[in-house]
Amino acid sequence: MIRKPVLSLVLALVLVLPSAGHSQNDTGGSRSGRQAAATPGAQEFLSAFQIIRDYALEVHSDSTLWFRAVDGLIQELNDAYAQAFAPAEYDEFQESNTGNYAGIGVQITTLNEVITITAVFTGTPAEESGLQVGDLIIAVNEESTEGWTTGDASDAIRGEVGTTVDLSIARQGLSVPLRPTVRRDSVHVVATETDLVGENIAYIALDRVARGSADEVEDALSDLEDARGFILDLRGNPGGYLDESLSLADLFLPEGARLASAESRVPGETGSSLDEAWTAEGPDRIPGKPMIVLVDRFSASASEIIAGALQDHDRALVIGERTFGKGVFQNVFRLSETRHLRLTTGEWYTPLRRSLHRPRTAQGNPLPEDPSTFPVVTTPAGRELVAGGGVFPDLEIKNDTLTLLEREFTSQAATAGVPLNPRIEEFSFDQSQKLRADGNDPAIDPAAFEDFLTGLVEEGADRVLLDNEEVRSYLEYLVVQRIARRMDRIGQAMEIRALRDPVLAEALRLLDEVATQTELFTAADGSNANQSN
């Protein structure tokens, strides 16, 4: 049973506080913000507002002036994460926050200039209506989609829960379009990607810490419980809900282990703080199994809580790059029925009381720092960890970069206006459909690949560069990895990725050599020693 902490503070993606004009959280404390109106400064502000509204040559509505005033207040804060949300911005924020939206449950993209269904989510109205991967959406509510962008189609298909949308579907093998009427409903997009990789190694990628992420990972652990070792990939994960991150860390730690703590300001007070701490309810879902966490400079916020907790307790080896360093959390306050304010309200700490926050300017740029002043903490196993902002990996490995020829090709294609990524997506999708229908494994048909390259040349790609074996191998790598993903062969896609992903490759190599977490730390020490020589 995954623990559900009482306090639902949120990082990067945050919790909405329900009371207009109040700061309130699940601990039950609240304080009205209206008392500020009694201060002289607040009275001056209101007077200025009324004068501008009544006398300024340029006329604006009250709502516009108030919203601009709020923006002005935010600009005066040294808070890179503060934001006033307009209604549409808040809706988009909520969707990315939770993974939930009101629609029919399909993933779409524009392939060969046609809106194409590239995924149908399980248990959604789209699946119930018989929609399939590869279906072409040629009309929505009797309006042709010719010339539409993916965003245009998405806006037209989505709508309020309980309403319907009429689609016209072109499907291979059918001479007449299908015309299903599909009910809109709440749809949840999963945040995880899981499979076995290599020699029975469980791979779990988490692209955000959304609502339900802990349940998704727990299900994956049950499915993959016989694996010899586990990789949790948090690279590129911008964060999410604090309570979900705590529940995720809880999956790998014993009962009573501290997960994190937080320090915030007592509402309305200037010299006191409110402290909260969370402990695991356990048990470890994969006891005794060696585990590696992958991070990079884009791993932030709630994902850093997970990595930091597992690192502090010697439960996982952390590999990759120093993480972003977002060690503060935000609350969202409702200003009105349509307007919301996000504000940084506190700081969180790892179990060993490391503050992982890296100070930045209001524009998000890191402030200068002196690594020699970074404090160091010691784990129960005697490992020393740096506490200088962000999670410092136990084994630092930089992501792979393009070769000079690969850079030359991608630059030339971009300069010539070749839509390289869309063409790779289109070709990979077509190939995956054929391979899936024939029951074959991910592969590239040589003749089809030559046609693909010829098409790139016709759009402006340099033939000499494309004939270079290094460039061709790079494109083959991109295509076959994408084909495997389109065929839902995540394990094979990761094995292909590892050919050019040194972080993943090293994780797989280490887990192939060890049976316990202690052996894993020892092996990593050897890798660090080799890097130093």
User: What average pLDDT does this structure show over 130-150?
Assistant: 93
For strand 229-233 and strand 201-206, is the pairing parallel, antiparallel, or unpaired? parallel
| Distance of alpha carbon 484 from alpha carbon 489, whole angstroms | 5
| Distance of alpha carbon 460 from alpha carbon 421, whole angstroms | 14
| Distance of alpha carbon 321 from alpha carbon 307, whole angstroms | 12
Q: What is the pLDDT of residue 504?
A: 98
Peptide bond into 283 cis (omega under 30): yes
pLDDT digits (tens, 9 = 90+) for 508-527: 999 999 999 999 999 999 87
| Distance of alpha carbon 267 from alpha carbon 92, whole angstroms | 28
Q: Which residues are within 8 A (CB) of 528 and not within 5 positions of it... i.e. 6 or more apart?
A: 394, 395
* Nearest partner of 352 among 322, 387, 318, judged by Cα: 387
- Do residues 503 and 294 make contact, with C-beta atoms less than 8 angstroms apart? yes
pLDDT of residue 495 exceeding 90, the answer is yes
Q: Do domains 100-188 and 192-327+346-361+374-396 have the same CATH topology?
A: no
What pTM was computed for the model? Answer: 0.82
Q: What is the pLDDT of residue 194?
A: 97
pLDDT of residue 23 exceeding 80, the answer is no
Q: What is the pLDDT of residue 71?
A: 85
- Phi then psi for residue 191, to 5 deg, are -105, 0
* Nearest partner of 109 among 422, 327, 493, 418, judged by Cα: 422
pLDDT of residue 62 exceeding 60, the answer is yes
Topology given in CATH for the domain delimited by 100-188: Pdz3 Domain (2.30.42)
* Nearest partner of 317 among 376, 199, 255, 232, judged by Cα: 232
pLDDT of residue 364 exceeding 80, the answer is no
How far from each other are the two terminal CA atoms of the chain, in whole angstroms?
46
- Read off the DSSP letter of residue 480: H
User: What average pLDDT does this structure show over 178-192?
Assistant: 90
Q: What is the pLDDT of residue 160?
A: 86
User: What average pLDDT does this structure show over 87-94?
Assistant: 78
* 99 conformational bin, left if phi > 0, alpha if psi -120 to 50, beta if neither: left
* 305 conformational bin, left if phi > 0, alpha if psi -120 to 50, beta if neither: alpha
Half-sphere exposure of 251 (CA within 13 A, CB side): 23
Q: What is the pLDDT of residue 471?
A: 98
- Read off the DSSP letter of residue 37: G
Band of pLDDT at residue 213, cut at 50, 70 and 90 = very high
pLDDT digits (tens, 9 = 90+) for 366-425: 889 999 999 999 999 999 999 989 999 999 999 888 899 999 999 999 999 999 988 999
pLDDT of residue 26 exceeding 70, the answer is no
Length of the chain in residues, anyone? 533
| Distance of alpha carbon 412 from alpha carbon 406, whole angstroms | 10
Name the amino acid, one letter, at 146. E
pLDDT digits (tens, 9 = 90+) for 222-256: 999 999 999 999 999 999 888 999 999 999 999 99
Topology given in CATH for the domain delimited by 192-327+346-361+374-396: 2-enoyl-CoA Hydratase; Chain A, domain 1 (3.90.226)
pLDDT of residue 17 exceeding 50, the answer is no
* Extents of the domains making up the chain: 10-98, 100-188, 192-327+346-361+374-396, 404-497
| Distance of alpha carbon 128 from alpha carbon 234, whole angstroms | 33
User: What average pLDDT does this structure show over 177-187?
Assistant: 92
User: What average pLDDT does this structure show over 296-320?
Assistant: 97
Sort 196 into a burial class: Cβ within 10 Å, 0-12 / 13-18 / 19+: middle
pLDDT digits (tens, 9 = 90+) for 415-472: 999 999 889 999 999 999 999 888 899 999 999 999 999 999 999 999 999 999 999 9
Query: What percent of the chain lies above the pLDDT cut of 70?
Result: 90
On average, the pLDDT of the chain sits at 87
Sort 126 into a burial class: Cβ within 10 Å, 0-12 / 13-18 / 19+: buried
Q: What is the pLDDT of residue 99?
A: 62
Q: What is the pLDDT of residue 299?
A: 95
